[in-house]
Amino acid sequence: MTKWTPRHEAPEPLEGPVVATITGGTILWFVLFLAQLPFYGWFQDHGYLWWLWTCLAGAGLGLIGIWYVRKRDAAIKRHAAADDAGRQPDRQDR
Higher pLDDT, 83 or 63: 63
Q: What residue type is 55 in one-letter code?
A: C
DSSP 44-68: HHHT-HHHHHHHHHHHHHHHHHHHH
Q: What is the pTM of this model?
A: 0.73
At 1, the pLDDT band (50, 70, 90 cuts) reads low
At 2, the pLDDT band (50, 70, 90 cuts) reads low
Mean pLDDT (whole number) for 14-25 = 92
Report yes or no: 79 and 88 within 8 Å, Cβ to Cβ. Answer: no
- The per-residue pLDDT for range 40-73, each reduced to its tens digit, is 999 999 999 999 999 999 999 999 999 999 999 9
